[in-house]
Amino acid sequence: MSYTIIGGGIAGLSAAIALKNIGIQAQVYEAAAEMRPLGAGLMLAANAIKAYRRIGVAEKIIARGHLLSRFQILDRRGRIITSADTAAVEKRYGLHNFAIHRAALHEALLAELAPAQVETNMRAVGFDRNQNGEITGRFHSGARRTTRYLIVADGIHSAIRRQLFPASAPRYAGYTCWRAVVDDLGLGLDGASETWGAEGRFGVVPLAGGKVYWFACVNAPRDDPERRAYRAADLRRVFRRFHEPIPSILEHTIDENLIWNDIIDLKPLNRYAFENVVLIGDAAHATTPNLGQGACQAIEDAATLVAEMEKQPNPIAAFQAFERRRLPRARWVVDTSWRLGKIAQTSNPALAAMRDTLFRFIPRSVNEKQLERLLDVDF
Ligand SMILES: Cc1cc2nc3c(=O)[nH]c(=O)nc-3n(C[C@H](O)[C@H](O)[C@H](O)COP(=O)(O)OP(=O)(O)OC[C@H]3O[C@@H](n4cnc5c(N)ncnc54)[C@H](O)[C@@H]3O)c2cc1C
């Protein structure tokens, strides 16, 4: 029985490893010309680590990351709005909350697979299903590959999803985002933070080796040419009234390292499984990054998929069971993250001040319940 995965991102590689561990060698087709380590940082919450435990690679990934002892939301002057003690999460779930450089995660995942298992320069453009139910993937070069089962992990702009759901299109959240990693500035940070102001949001996340990953979101029109041209100096101007170490981090940011994206997600779908084809990761349920859960959900997909495949011999039934388990949870993440983004990006100064005050009064038990819903998952 042959298995094919379209897309060699976090979802596709995690699924390939999970399948390998139950004795299935899936072939991965990736659009990029080479598997180059790219990107900035990534926070992986306890649910993702639990999923990696299920897949059997958690310790190797934890070894390349940086443990976060807390996550705080601050105001522009650096005063605490909310604070989550992630060490307490670790105590409760016996798991880590941590941050990792995307390149390090990718390298760790790739190291688990045989080089020949991932074929690059293979951009899928669609698929056909023959009378026997076999799937033939079509690629931009004209190449075709036939498989019994197809796992679709080609991200938010998925070509295969567009074939299955022609009306599905990414939606713009109304804010745009810059990211970068800076070298060790001797800040000695042990927790992550996000600072909210009327002019935007700025996140600071320590990585291994003293490096710092930061992200900044501001409200803007979609694909704005003015924001496209922004350099670190422009961001220094936007965030000039934000507390330290934000100005220093921007001061040390190299323009060439800036990554810029409009923030988009996918309006929740009502289906992931189509007989012997299944959508996973951002291709199925791309979310805004406000809960830091996009990749975590992709990793949950990989763990859930193999958990269902282990339960029953019929992969089509397993794909359906996967869909039943994953649809409600992924929808909740997408919706909650979308709403949180709207609150966090409030640009009216009076409303922003009111929001900060209200958030300070949210009882700890409410925050903990939300966190529990996010982290308390089994595979
Ligand atoms: C600013 C920002 C910050 C974020 N922070 C976090 C965070 O802290 N924590 C977290 O959990 N998540 C975070 N995310 C979300 C996370 O990046 C995504 O959810 C995750 O990368 C999804 O993985 P994926 O493999 O499904 O898709 P992708 O990462 O998009 O990978 C898809 C892969 O498929 C390939 N591909 C694309 N099209 C084709 C094709 N037609 N044929 C073949 N291959 C193709 C691509 O080249 C790519 O390698 C963040 C996202 C953003 C934008």
* Averaged pLDDT, 362-378: 77
- Condensed to tens digits (0 to 9), the pLDDT of residues 1-27 reads 699 999 999 999 999 999 999 999 999
Least confident of 50-54, 86-90, 210-214, 223-227: 86-90
Ligand 1 centroid to residue 10 C-alpha, Å: 7
Nearest CA to ligand 1 atom 9: 292
Which region holds residue 311: left if phi is over 0, alpha if psi is between -120 and 50, else beta?
A: alpha
| Cβ atoms 138, 127 nearer than 8 A | yes
Which is the closest atom of ligand 1 to the Cα of 48? 11
Q: Does ligand 1 have an atom closer than 6 angstroms to the CB of 296?
A: yes
Distances (CA, A) of 58 to 89, 131, 278, 303: 17, 41, 25, 12
- Condensed to tens digits (0 to 9), the pLDDT of residues 162-216 reads 999 999 999 999 999 999 999 988 888 888 999 999 999 999 999 988 999 999 9
Token pair for 104:
């390090």
Ligand 1 centroid to residue 369 C-alpha, Å: 28
- How far apart are the C-alpha atoms of 166 and 164, rounded to whole Å? 6
Token pair for 293:
């859960």
- pLDDT band of residue 137 (cuts 50, 70, 90) is very high
**HEC assignment per residue over 166-218:** CCCCEEEEEEEEEEEEECCCCCCCCCEEEEEECCEEEEEEECHHHCEEEEEEE
Question: To test ligand 1's pocket by mutation, which of 30, 205, 340 has the most ligand atoms within 8 angstroms of CB?
Answer: 30
Q: Does ligand 1 have an atom closer than 6 angstroms to the CB of 29?
A: yes
- Condensed to tens digits (0 to 9), the pLDDT of residues 138-151 reads 999 999 999 999 99
Question: Which residues lie across from 28 on neighbouring strands?
Answer: 5, 118
Nearest CA to ligand 1 atom 49: 9
Q: Does ligand 1 have an atom closer than 6 angstroms to the CB of 187?
A: no
- pLDDT band of residue 93 (cuts 50, 70, 90) is confident
Q: Is the pLDDT of residue 369 over 70?
A: yes
Q: Tell me which residue has tokens 């349920």.
A: 285
* Residue 371 pLDDT: 76
Nearest CA to ligand 1 atom 50: 289
Which is the closest atom of ligand 1 to the Cα of 14? 25
- How far apart are the C-alpha atoms of 218 and 228, rounded to whole Å? 12
Rg of the Cα atoms in the chain = 21
User: 68: Cβ–Cβ under 8 A, 6 or more apart, which residues?
Assistant: 43, 86, 97, 98, 99, 190, 191, 192, 205, 206
- How far apart are the C-alpha atoms of 51 and 54, rounded to whole Å? 5
Q: Which of 220, 231, 203, 216 is nearest to 99 (CA)?
A: 203
| Cβ atoms 262, 230 nearer than 8 A | no
* Residue 1 pLDDT: 67
Which is the closest atom of ligand 1 to the Cα of 215? 1
Q: Is the pLDDT of residue 273 over 70?
A: yes
Q: Does ligand 1 have an atom closer than 6 angstroms to the CB of 12?
A: yes
* Residue 37 pLDDT: 66
Distances (CA, A) of 14 to 41, 47, 109, 111, 302: 18, 14, 7, 11, 6
- How far apart are the C-alpha atoms of 328 and 332, rounded to whole Å? 6
| Cβ atoms 49, 67 nearer than 8 A | no
Q: Does ligand 1 have an atom closer than 6 angstroms to the CB of 11?
A: yes
Which is the closest atom of ligand 1 to the Cα of 6? 43
Which is the closest atom of ligand 1 to the Cα of 286? 19
Q: Does ligand 1 have an atom closer than 6 angstroms to the CB of 150?
A: no
Burial of residue 141 (CB within 10 Å: 0-12, 13-18, 19+) is: exposed
Ligand 1 centroid to residue 143 C-alpha, Å: 24
Q: Is the pLDDT of residue 367 over 80?
A: no
Average pLDDT along the chain: 93
* Residue 224 pLDDT: 97
Question: To test ligand 1's pocket by mutation, which of 4, 10, 157 has the most ligand atoms within 8 angstroms of CB?
Answer: 10
Q: Is the pLDDT of residue 370 over 80?
A: no
Nearest CA to ligand 1 atom 48: 9
Q: Is 265 helix (H, G, I), strand (E, B) or coil?
A: strand
- Condensed to tens digits (0 to 9), the pLDDT of residues 329-343 reads 999 999 999 999 999
Distances (CA, A) of 156 to 35, 159, 295: 19, 9, 12
* Averaged pLDDT, 28-57: 91
Which is the closest atom of ligand 1 to the Cα of 40? 3
- pLDDT band of residue 243 (cuts 50, 70, 90) is very high
Which is the closest atom of ligand 1 to the Cα of 45? 11
- How far apart are the C-alpha atoms of 134 and 303, rounded to whole Å? 25
